[in-house]
Homo-oligomer: A and B are copies of this chain.
Amino acid sequence: MTHRLTEEFTVDFEPLGRRARVPQGTTLLEAARQAGVGLNGICGGAGTCGTCRVRVVAGEVTPPTEAERVKLEPEAVAQGLRLACQVRVLDHVRVDVPPSSITAPQRAQIEGRERPVELDPAARAFDVTLTPPSLKDLRADAMRLRQALQRQHDVVVNRCDHGALCQLPDLLRENGWRVRLVVRDGEVIAVAPVGISPLGLAVDIGTTKMAAYLVNLESGETLVARGVMNPQIAYGEDVMARIAYAMDGEAKAYEIHLVLVEGLDDLARELCAQVGRGSSEIVEAVLVGNTCMHHMVLGLPVAQLGLAPYVPALAHAYDLKAQELGLHLAPGANVYLLPNIAGFVGADHVAMLLASHMCEAREITVGLDIGTNTEISLAAGGRLLSCSCASGPAFEGAHIHDGMRAAPGAIERIRLNAGSDGQPPRVEYRTIDDAPPVGICGSGILDGVAELRRVGVLRLNGTMQSGSHPRVRGTGKGTEFLLVAAGERGAPRDVVINRRDVNEIQLAKAAVRAGVAVLLEEAELEEGQIERVVVAGAFGTYLDVDSALAVGMFPQLPRERFIQIGNAAGMGAKLALLSRHCREVAEEIARRVEYVELTTHPRFVAAYTAALMLP
């Protein structure tokens, strides 16, 4: 091999599945930029902010620098963490990027911990060559195809999708009787010229956001991922508002269904366009969502989901044609929906249980999907218990005085430092995109409450002590804490945390903690026996586990028992897209789950009341 002055190396960023090709000596931060990975880097690569933490899992790089030794705690170093701005590439490298190191624009929450899976999709492609018809061989096109498929691939089909069948005669004749077929469950669902890989689409339909993944079903590769708002947001922020809208007559129920389907259709088209494909090449889609989103996308009535005993119309795993939903994918494309567990424990939670593998694990594991509704599962001793609690919208920044969604300008991290050497105490915070602070998102308010309690501003019961901090001030409506004063770092107005905000967080965190407590009681376990806590979902990804522990939302366990796994529902949807075995596992999970209804549970109220205080 000839000597090359500067050699190029690949840098793979996991779990994002992005790759850069860079010369030797390039920093990981530069490589990340090139690969389109939005790594935090508040100091711009000076090594002073310590936010661009990554773990090098394979390949040779430069040794830790002085800046890293200063900025990284010993435990972080022990875990192999590095600052991306300080690490230079010496070979092909694979890097693991923790969700907390990723900047806001990508926060549509599409990343999650991916696990490798054996490729075994429901829809598979086969190339066949047919003998052209003649006066001696007058078999119909459909029969000719069926027999060729059996002879050439030992695949038996008993049906051809009608849309695919309509395309077949011309396609055969235009392509010299050699075509590619996509077969699913004994049915030819698509026909195409040879060489075109069928596409799959996985979508996690959240109440607020949708995360979508476009996948090459032959290679298993994720071609592109994207997060967008759920277009139903225009009909209300939460599930109950949308149920109320849908109950106001058939036309409205249809309208709110249609807006969601059209949103999915747009999303599919845009994802495909981004990689130069067409959405008519998507042959299989997997959708997950909470039970209400599941019913709404299917056009099922939702009235019964809004009334006790909150019974779904449909719970088991469900297959239907994309066409039946009005989705414009391949004419014969199918849509698979994972099973629901109950009215408030939906297919998204099943997907999370699937992706986290927690049901297969030996450890006693708690899984949490934190949102307006929080779904909680407990896997212990072969049992699987699930419940849902109404944690309210505070974690999404709603019902908070200066609350907002996780968007540019939202304060997402807060630290209150004691003033040293006679200096007044400082408030440190980080905003999404480093934009001027305009409000507080869920992870910010959680940090805020945790810090205010830590520095003694908040009492056990959540009230604010006047005079406990220079920034505590009285208003006509009560006491509040001034987080950011108007004008500071370009802030257009004051940003505060008040007593009612603290109360919202108390109510929300108590619901989560009480849910865990009831499941533990049902399983006759103590908190301390929990070996692992898996935290999923958008808020679950960005929250600071220490803060969640500090406010008492989580069982008081050692920090290392917690794992944040990102958008596990989306990952679960992708697994179900790539593997029929994963579908079976998901269906088995839904069958096994023992659903625990909290609203009528004799122990819930006591557990909830006990959890309201701040530790």
Contacts and interface: CB of A to CB of B under 8 A. Distances in A.
List the number of copies, as a whole number.
Answer: 2
A170 to B, nearest CB: 5
A431 interface: no
A423 interface: no
Contact of A173 (B138, B141, B304, B342): B304
A300 interface: yes
Interface string A306-323: 001111111110001001
A343 B600 contact: no
A148 to B, nearest CB: 14
A135 B600 contact: yes
Contacts of A163: 324
A169 B301 CA distance: 7
A164 to B, nearest CB: 11
A138 B340 contact: no
B316 A139 contact: no
A30 interface: no
A138 B301 contact: no
A173 B163 CA distance: 36
Given A138-B342, A169-B303, 11 more contacts: A134-B309, A139-B315, A140-B312, A140-B314, A141-B311, A141-B312, A141-B314, A142-B314, A142-B315, A165-B314, A169-B304
A513 to B, nearest CB: 23
A166 interface: yes
B165 A595 contact: no
A64 interface: no
Interface string A237-278: 000000000000000000000000000000000000000000
Contacts of A314: 140-142, 160, 165
A168 interface: yes
A555 interface: no
A186 interface: no
A143 interface: yes
Interface of A: 133-135, 138-143, 160, 162-163, 165-166, 168-170, 173, 298-301, 303-304, 308-316, 320, 323-324, 340, 342-343, 595, 597, 600
Contact of A135 (B168, B309, B313, B323): B309
A311 B139 contact: yes
A304 to B, nearest CB: 5
A387 to B, nearest CB: 12
Interface centre among A141, A311, A315, A324 (most CB of B within 10 A): A311
Given A166-B298, A166-B301, A313 B140 contact: yes
B142 A313 contact: yes
A135 B308 CA distance: 8
A315 B140 contact: yes
Contacts of A143: 315-316
A295 to B, nearest CB: 9
A102 to B, nearest CB: 35
Contacts of A301: 166, 169-170
Contact of A162 (B141, B165, B320): B320
